[in-house]
Amino acid sequence: MGRQIHFYMLAEDQNAFLRVVQERNPIMVITRDSDSAEVQPADLDTGPDKTLCLWNRRLLPHLKRKWIPDLGYDTIDGLRTPTLEFTPSFTATWEGKPGLGQGRLFGDFVHSPLIESESIASHPSLKAKGGAPISRSPLSVSQT
């Protein structure tokens, strides 16, 4: 089962967040849906109606979108790839007053076939203090 975090973030905060994420890891911010299978960095001024993905190229060196014939576009399969979906907050007017709608960060690494592979399971960023691997449990996170 995937996990999500809902948040409220102004555009300046979003830019700062994405900058820090990209400075600390080899992360590429991409759009989830496109008319092309090829992945390119996203224009961060795409607006709140676009879902972005945070792709860590250290965990997954190559990524392509998958064609969805019923919808007529290519998309990143967030349930089978170790990527995080990032839906930005949005500004709106509600009852004549300015409002801020919630954004979302979502990931489901449990169903990713790459998580079971040796290269991902042994990655240093997935180790707890002391070097022991972190085990997945629906109730808690513990060291094995």
Average pLDDT, the chain: 81
Domain contains 139: no
Residue 141: what pLDDT?
45
Domain contains 140: no
pLDDT at 111 exceeding the cut of 60: no
Q: How many domains does the chain have?
A: 1
Domain contains 126: no
Q: What is the pLDDT of residues 40-78, one digit of tens each?
A: 999 876 666 789 999 999 988 999 999 999 989 999 988
* Mean pLDDT, residues 36-40 taken together: 91
Q: pLDDT band at residue 81, thresholds of 50, 70 and 90?
A: confident
What is the bridge-based pairing of β-strands 90-94 and 83-87?
A: unpaired
Residue 114 CB: number of other CB atoms within 10 A? 14
CA distance 64 to 39: 6
Residue 74 CB: number of other CB atoms within 10 A? 18
Domain contains 136: no
Domain contains 127: no
Which residue did the predictor score with more confidence, 80 or 74? 74
Q: Which domain holds residue 13?
A: 3-113
**Which range has the worst mean pLDDT, 36-45, 90-99, 130-139?**
130-139
β-bridge mates for residue 107, sequence order: 3
* Greatest extent of the chain over all pairs of C-alpha atoms, in Å: 55
* Mean pLDDT, residues 80-93 taken together: 91
pTM confidence score: 0.72
Domain contains 83: yes
Residue 140: what pLDDT?
45
83: burial class by Cβ within 10 Å (0-12, 13-18, 19+)? buried
Domain contains 59: yes
Give the helix/strand (H/E) hosting 12: helix 11-24
